[in-house]
Amino acid sequence: MKKKRTTERYTLADLDNWREATGEVKPPIRLGVFGDPVAHSLSPQMQNAALRACKIDMQYARFHIRASELRSALHLLAELDFIGVNLTVPHKIAALVSLDEIDERAARAGAVNTIRVRDKRLTASNTDGEGFLRAIRSEFSVDLRDLRVMLIGAGGGSGRAIAMQCALENCERLVLVNRTFEKAKALADQLRPFFAGPRVLGPAARLEAVAWNDPSLRAQLAHVDLVVNATPLGMNPSDSTPIPARLLAPHHMIFDTVYGAQPTPLVRAAQEAGARAANGFSMLLHQGALSFQIWFEREAPLDAMRQALL
């Protein structure tokens, strides 16, 4: 049988027929990422570098799992000899109902990006929020708690985790923007207790939900330091920017969770506006290191993982 390289994608059919599909693959695949799309994911090259650095004889692969296949894929996972998986778009919220245990981080975020398999039981966790926190510190040398943040894509799995991290850090201000406004509104209602404190920062409310393309976005941006894109806009080079360059100003810090070889449309918009910008590589690195720590209960080899992304 032809050996599959980790750059290839496995599917639900492969999981269903795992021993035949991968019997000859060495080292054995015992970790992976489920997503749709998933071809863009750099988690395999980063996690495989970590496994090699730690001399752990297994590998991490990509799995193209559609939304309708997630439940079956997770069910099969519990029966196989896996250590765990990461979940990416569009599975982070939907997976919650198919898991045996949900830890505090995943429960708080209402989203899962890391699953650990043990004794045929699947435990959900979430490292996106903490990964985001570390990425902001390393990219901009600032702490989230000191920032006024606008989060675009607040209704998605990653957006929810980032919003919760902003709340836990008690950041100065949080503006939640989402295409489906009701989700941003519901999240704002959930996070309100975190922002009920006595900080008084002038006329702007500390926590607000704003509709996508709302005319008040420009005024909101005058009271924001950090703009975060947690939508998938930018994954395709032809995507539009989630926020036009003309609304951005040089004082803004722009963080795009999307990453790729080319600058994303949002990073280009930031450069055009003279603002500082970073894409999602550092978040990928830190959330991945935290996942590794959950799977192996040891520190992740951060330098080897970073090198693998250069």
Does 301 bind ligand NAP (CB under 6 A)? Our answer is: no
Per rule CB under 6 A, is residue 263 in the interface with ligand NAP? no
- Partnered with residue 118 across adjacent β-strands are 121
Q: Which is nearer to ligand NAP, 280 or 301 (CB)?
A: 280
Q: Smallest gap, in angstroms, from Cβ of residue 102 to ligand NAP?
A: 17
Within residues 199-238, the interface with ligand NAP by CB under 6 A covers 230-233, 235
247 Cα distance to chain centroid? 25
195 vs 259, which CB is nearer to ligand NAP?
Answer: 259
66-72: long-range contacts (C-beta < 8 A, 24 or more apart)?
Answer: 66/12, 66/36, 67/36, 67/91, 67/94, 69/12, 70/34, 70/94, 70/95, 70/98, 71/98, 72/12, 72/16
Choices 63-71, 102-110, 255-263, 300-308 (CB under 6 A): range interacting with ligand NAP: 255-263
Q: Which residues contact 262 (CB under 8 A, 6 or more apart)?
A: 237
Among 88, 114, 127, 241, binds ligand NAP (CB under 6 A): 88
In the bound state with ligand NAP, the residue whose beta carbon lies nearer, of 77 and 89, is 89
One residue of 60, 82, 259, 295 binding ligand NAP per CB under 6 A: 259
Q: Are 224 and 248 in contact (CB under 8 A)?
A: no
Could you identify the residue written with the tokens 């039981």?
121
Interface with ligand NAP by CB under 6 A: which range of 24-32, 64-72, 86-94, 163-171?
Answer: 86-94
Q: Cβ of residue 88: shortest distance to ligand NAP, in angstroms?
A: 6
* Residue 220 amino acid letter: Q
Say if CB 174 and CB 166 are below 8 A apart.
Answer: yes
**Shortest CB 43 distance to ligand NAP, Å:** 8
Catalytic residue status for 183: no
Q: Where are the beta strands (DSSP E) in 48-194?
A: 59-64, 84-87, 101-102, 114-118, 121-125, 148-152, 173-178
Per-residue x/- track, 89-118, ligand NAP (CB under 6 A): xx-xx-------------------------
Q: In angstroms, rounded to a whole number, what is the distance separating the alpha carbons of residues 198 and 190?
A: 18
Q: Which of residues 147-186 bind ligand NAP (CB under 6 A)?
A: 153, 155-159, 178-180, 183
User: Which CB atom, from 128 or from 169, has the smaller least distance to ligand NAP?
Assistant: 128
With CB atoms as reference, the residue minimizing the distance to ligand NAP is 156
Beta-carbon contacts of residue 196 (< 8 Å; ≥ 6 apart): none
121-125, strands of its sheet edge to edge: 9-10, 59-64, 29-35, 84-87, 114-118, 121-125, 101-102
Torsion angles phi and psi, residue 125, rounded to 5: -140, 180
**Cβ nearer to ligand NAP, comparing 153 with 301:** 153
Say whether 149 sits in a helix, a strand or coil: strand
Of the candidates 24, 111, 10, 109, the one whose C-alpha atom is nearest the C-alpha of residue 61 is 10
Which of the residues 92, 120, 183, 185 is marked catalytic? 92
For residue 89, the minimal CB distance to ligand NAP (Å) is: 4
CB of 2 to ligand NAP, least distance (A): 30
For ligand NAP, how many residues bind (rule: CB under 6 A)?
28
Residues that bind ligand NAP (CB under 6 A): 88-90, 92-93, 128, 153, 155-159, 178-180, 183, 230-233, 235, 257-259, 280, 283-284, 287
Residues marked as catalytic: 92
